[in-house]
Structure 1
Amino acid sequence: LNSNVATRHILNGSLYITRTLAECLAVRTADVLKYADFADEFAMQIGKFNTAILNDIKELYIYDFGIFIELAPDEEQKAMLEQNIQMALSKQDINLEDAIDIREIHNIKMANQLLKLKRKRKQEQEQQQQMQMQQMQAQQQMEITQMKSQAEQQKVAMETESKMALEKAKAEYEVQKLTAEKELKLALMAEEFAYNMQLKGMEQSQIDAREKEKEKGKSKRISQQSTQTSKMIEQKKNDLPAIDFESNEDSLDGFDMAEFDPR
């Protein structure tokens, strides 16, 4: 059992004596197998199997045996260790499995060292997880930024394409409009030309009709003059009374004012 401060020197002396005695026994056992005259008798007493084990360890040094004496912790030390464990658990510095492993160690010093080691590993693990989380967040942020940039580029490309399509549609509409106007003008010009030709034909027909009327009137006058001349010749030959031609000359039959129109 552990001791208080007042009897600590007595306890330490007892532990030193016990540890030294154990080391001496280990060395003496190796010396018996190597130098003693009764080595064979000793081997017969402990058995061949144990003798073989002792032969394997007789060349070892004292520190190779690892002789240690550790005191079992008292209630106060156990309570302090448990308090440290509970504090570490409350701060989530260790896990429940770590606390179980620490409680199984009866050496207070080693238990505290293991507690420190578990806390350090937990902190390193959390820092590593935090760094990984930050890297993941940074990667996600980069991906989001890249996606936004790509979306913006696609938006600009779509807007540009839409504007180009609109301008193309406007240009095609203008071309179609000009083509339609051209076709309409050509149709109007063709119709106007047809009307002009028709009017020209009608005017020419009227001119031809007037010419015919003139020729007809002229022929009629010539025929009338010939008739009058014949009558005058006959009147002179036969000594007939004078012939009155005024009634016929005053008649407007066959006379057309169009004869005086300029040609």
Structure 2
Amino acid sequence: MSGVIELRDLAGEVAREAGELARRRRAEGVHLAATKSSLADIVTEADREVEGLIRDRLRAARPGDGFLGEESAPDAGATGITWVVDPIDGTVNYAYGIPSYAVSIAAVRGSTAPAEWEALAGAVYAPATDELFHAAKGEGAHLAGMRLSVTSETPAGALLATGFGYDPATHDGDLATVRRAMTIARDLRRAGSAALDLAFVAAGRLDGYFERGLKPWDLAAGALLVSEAGGRVTILDTESTRPMLIAGGIRVHDRLRAIVGEET
């Protein structure tokens, strides 16, 4: 399994460098570059600069691999391995100075569709806390040298996380999903970074996570973290423009799927 470990280590090394660049740019002041799906869905100049750094570093280390990033054109590559990258996951937090943002880098094989690819390695780096969560297929998920494990028991109810789309037309449906999920919840968190939410599930800081409309780069590294930490990840309604991702320890995942999955 040395191949996946090398991919994991490369992802972690590049994520740290990219995260440090993002942190520096935030300290210097954020400049908005564009909006995407709506006025609330922003891109900063730092997003583009950080993705450029990641792309350059990965190309130098593995020139034949493909690349799928949030801010630049995809490249299919020639090796069958694609790097799926979110340079700053949680851009709105980043722009507002809220420290809940992360760099997410994953290596996948085969399809670039999350329900079909084989995830090989990934890293989620949180610059504000200097925490690097990383995983390799079959090798577990780790943080600071410690192996991560999802929670298995939630006697007081599950601490859940979720997120909402930027399109106001989707908010009623998202809130209806939250009402359903709250029947098994101890409480709910909405922190604004899917990559960190998934990393926190892997680390046992959250019991479960669900969200509609995630893009491949939002979940690639985080989903592998959860799986390698002994959890379960399911993507439902994959033909929709807003598929539903459910992640958690086995019991919480299955309960969430039974509740949330009824609407798909």
TM-score, structure 2 normalization: 0.22
More strand by share: 2
Q: TM-score, normalised to structure 1's length?
A: 0.22
Structure whose residues are more often helix by fraction: 1
Higher relative contact order (CA 8 A, sep 6+): 2
